[in-house]
Amino acid sequence: MEVRPGVFVSNVETDRWEADPDVPGSEMHELVHDGPVWAGMTRINDAPEPTPWTPDQRETVIVLEGSVRIEFADGSDLVLGVGDLISIPAELPMTWHVTAPFKEMWVLTGP
């Protein structure tokens, strides 16, 4: 919610969720989408199939609930849990294996 021009406020316990068209089976809560900056949260309540993901912009994520194993195209992987932060460059193909319930806060920046 924009509380004054350019100032956006929300809470991790928000009830304002909508289907995320980019991530089947998930919901998103958008905090701000202003030019090259887009920030919000994603939640997944049911264990989904592995999800291929290639961000168009640099993506920075903090895991708020659950865990995820991120598998990279070269076969290596990384496991993240509550409190872990990751910053991923644009155009890096990967597959997310989410353990639900899962919630993340994300920020996309740059072209």
Closest CA to 59 of 75, 41, 44, 71: 41
Buried b / exposed e over 33-46, threshold 16 CB at 10 Å, is eeeeebbbbbbbee
30-51 mean pLDDT:
92
Read off the pTM: 0.92
Q: With 80 as the cut, is the pLDDT of residue 47 above it?
A: no
| Mean pLDDT for the stretch of residues 52-65 | 96
Domains, the chain, ordered by start: 2-109 (2.60.120.10)
- DSSP label of 57: S
Alpha carbons 1 and 84: distance in angstroms, whole number: 26
Residue 95 and residue 78 in contact, taking contact as beta carbons nearer than 8 Å:
no
Q: Are strands 85-88 and 51-53 parallel, antiparallel or unpaired?
A: unpaired
